[in-house]
């Protein structure tokens, strides 16, 4: 009987001593920011389209347009591997990947 009580005590102590499953994890969001400029003239490109494409599924996840200074900011991106696709009328499409 004493053996069962000690075994029960040890099992409950071990089970309550475990961490909860989601404790201490980082939030599943990221941020990308930058600017779009003409590599030849150095001019900022207003209204350039920046898309983030998932590397696994090839789906566009999110995107943004550059402002009048060529800057863009994409927030609340789920963690994962992406490639950035930058497009602007009259320019070749530029893809940036890890």
Q: Which CATH class is domain 28-96?
A: mainly beta
Check whether 4 has a pLDDT greater than 80: no
pLDDT in tens, 33-43: 999 999 999 99
Domain ranges of the chain: 28-96
Check whether 55 has a pLDDT greater than 70: yes
Encode 15-73 in three state secondary structure. HHCCCCCCCCCCCCCEEEEEECECCCCCCECCCCEEEEEECCCCCEEEEEECCCCCEEE
């Amino acid at each position: 009987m004493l053996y069962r009580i000690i075994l029960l005590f040890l099992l409950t102590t071990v089970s309550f001593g475990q961490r909860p499953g989601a404790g201490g994890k980082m939030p599943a969001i990221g941020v990308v920011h930058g600017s779009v400029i003409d590599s030849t003239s150095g001019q900022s490109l207003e209204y350039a389209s920046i898309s983030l494409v998932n590397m696994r599924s090839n789906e566009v996840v999110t995107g943004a347009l550059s402002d009048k200074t060529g800057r863009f900011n994409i927030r609340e991106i789920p963690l994962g591997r992406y490639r950035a696709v930058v497009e602007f009328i009259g320019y070749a499409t530029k893809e940036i990947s890890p």
